[in-house]
Structure 1
Amino acid sequence: MPTSHTSAPPEPSVCPACSAGLTTDVRYPAWCPGCEWNLSPVVVPATDLSESQRQAAAREWEAQADRLALARQRAEQVYGAVAAGAGPREDRTWIAAMVMAAIVHLVTAGLLVGSVALQFVDSWPLRVAGWLGLAFAFFLRPRFAGIPDSGSVLRRTDAPALYALADRVAAAVGSRPVDMIRVTDEFNASFNRVGLRRRSVLTLGLPLWEPLGDGQRLALLAHELGHDVNGDHRSGWWLGSAITTLTQWWYVTEPAGREEHGGVLASLVEVVANLAMAGVNWLIGLLLGVLERLSSRSGQGAEYRADAIAARIASTSETERLLRTLLLSGSAATVRARLRSLSGVRRSSHSAGVAGFWASFTAELAAVPAHETERLLRLSVRELSSVDSTHPPTYLRIRMLGHRPVPAPALVVAPEEAAAIEAELAPLRLRIARELLA
Structure 2
Amino acid sequence: MQVVTEEESRPCPECGTEIRTDRRFTTWCAACDWNVDPEGDEERHVQGRLGRARRVAARRHGERLHAEVGGDDHAPTARTLPALCAYALACAVHGVTLALVVGGVWCVVYGWGGLGMPFGLFLLFLAWTLGPRLPRLPTEGPVLGRGDAPALYGLVDDIARVAGTRGVDVIAIDTAVNASVTTCGVRERRLLTIGLPLWELLTPQQRIALLGHELGHYSNGDTRRGIVLATAYRSLTAWRYFLAPAEDPSPTEMAVALVCFVPRALVQGVLTVLDGLTLHAGRRAEYLADSSAARAGSTEAAVGLLDRILVADSAEVTLRREANAPRSARRGTDRPEERAERLWDVLAADAGSIPEHEYERRRRAGALRGHRVDSTHPPTHLRRERLLSATPVPAAVVVDEERERRITGELADARSRLARQILRDGFAG
TM-score clears 0.5: yes
Which of 1, 6, 20 is residue 4 of structure 2 equivalent to?
A: 6
- The change in CA–CA distance for 1:384 and 1:128 in structure 2 (over 3 A counts) is same
- Equivalent position of 2:115 in the other structure: 125
* Alignment deviations for residues 2-48 of structure 1 (CA, whole Å, 9 cap, x no partner): x754222x222111111222111111111011221111235999xxx
Shift, 1:71, TM fit: 2.9
Which has the greater radius of gyration? Answer: 1
1:11-160 matches, cutoff 5 A: 11-42=8-39, 60-83=47-70, 85=72, 87-89=76-78, 91-121=80-110, 124-160=114-150
Match runs of 1:236-275 below 5 Å: 236-256=226-246, 258-260=249-251, 274-275=257-258
- 1:223 equivalent to 2:210? Answer no
Secondary structure of 2:410's counterpart equals helix
Higher alpha-carbon deviation: 68-77 or 283-292: 68-77
Select which of 381, 390, 394 maps to 2:380.
394
Which residue number corresponds to residue 263 of structure 2? 280
1:294 is displaced (CA, Å) by 1.6
CA displacement, residues 278-308 of structure 1 (integer Å, 9 cap, x when unaligned): 1221111011111122222211111111110
Are residues 422 and 120 of structure 1, via their aligned partners in 2, closer, same or farther at CA, if it must alter by over 3 Å?
closer
Q: For 2:28, give the aligned amino acid.
A: W
Displacement of 1:70 after TM fit?
3.1
The CA deviation at 1:65 is: 2.9
Aligned partners of 2:105 and 2:124 also within 8 Å:
yes
* Separation in structure 2 between the aligned mates of residue 156 and residue 417 of structure 1, nearest angstrom: 15
The answer to whether structure 1 residue 298 and structure 2 residue 298 are counterparts is no
Contact 2:5 2:353 survives alignment (8 Å) = no
Residues 210-229 of structure 1: per-residue CA shift (max 9 Å, x gap) = 12111101101111111111
Q: Could you say if the C-alpha distance between residues 120 and 183 of structure 1 is closer, same or farther in structure 2, counting changes exceeding 3 Å?
A: closer
* TM-score scaled by length of structure 2: 0.89
What SS is found at the alignment partner of 2:201?
A: coil
Bigger mean CA offset, 13-22 vs 317-326: 13-22
> Equivalent residue of 1:412, what SS?
coil
- Structure 1 contact 379–385 (Cα < 8 Å) conserved: no
Query: For 2:392, what is the secondary structure of its paired residue?
Result: coil
Pairwise CA RMSD of aligned residues?
A: 2.6
Superposition TM-score, scaled by structure 1 size: 0.87
Q: 1:119 to 1:331 in 2, by over 3 A?
A: same
In the alignment, is the contact (CA less than 8 A) between 1:349 and 1:434 conserved in 2? no
- Alpha-carbon contact 1:190-1:203 (below 8 Å) kept: yes
> 2: distance between equivalents of 1:16 and 1:66?
31
Shift, 1:389, TM fit: 3.6
Letter in 1 for 2:330: V
Shift of 1:385: 7.6
Instruction: Find the aligned partners of 1:122 and 1:317 in 2 and give their Cα distance.
Output: 67
SS class of match (2:376):
coil
Structure-2 change in CA distance of 1:281 and 1:306 (3 Å): same
Residue 91 (structure 1) shift: 4.2
Comparing 407-416 and 86-95, the one that deviates more: 86-95
Of 184-193 and 274-283, deviating more is: 274-283
Q: Please, which of 322, 327, 332 is the counterpart of residue 315 of structure 2? A: 332
2-side partners of 1:356 and 1:415: how far apart? 22
What residue identity is the alignment partner of 2:218? D
**SS across alignment from 1:177:** coil
Cα gap change, 1:309 to 1:271, in 2 (>3 Å) = closer
Q: 2:310·2:359 contact (CA, 8 Å) conserved in 1?
A: yes
Give the match's secondary structure for 1:355.
Answer: helix
Q: Does 1:193 align with 2:183?
A: yes
State the secondary structure of the residue aligned to 1:27.
Answer: coil
**How far did residue 87 of structure 1 move?**
4.1
- How many Å apart are 1:99 and its aligned residue? 1.0
Choose from 390, 393, 407 the match for 1:421.
Answer: 407
User: Matched residues in 2 for 1:4 and 1:431: separation?
Assistant: 24
Residue type at the aligned position of 2:268: G
Query: Using the alignment, how far apart are the partners of 2:272 and 2:66 within structure 1?
Result: 21
Aligned length: 415
Q: Is the 8 A contact 1:219 1:310 kept in 2?
A: yes
Deviation at 1:374, TM superposition (A): 0.9
1:345 alignment partner in structure 2: 330
- Summarize the Cα distance change of 1:280–1:416 in structure 2 as closer, same or farther, 3 Å threshold: same
Whether 2:168 is the aligned partner of 1:178: answer: yes
User: Could you list the per-position Cα deviations for residues 140-186 of structure 1 after superposition, in whole angstroms to 9, with x for gaps in the alignment?
Assistant: 22110121124321122221111111111112222212111111111
Q: Which amino acid aligns with 2:279?
A: S
Pair 309,74 (structure 1): closer, same or farther in 2 beyond 3 Å: same
CA pair 156-43 structure 1, distance change in 2 beyond 3 A: closer
Question: Quick check: 1:187–1:329 contact (8 Å CA) kept in 2?
Answer: yes
CA distance in 2, matches of 1:252, 1:277: 10
Gaps of 5+ in 2: 425-429
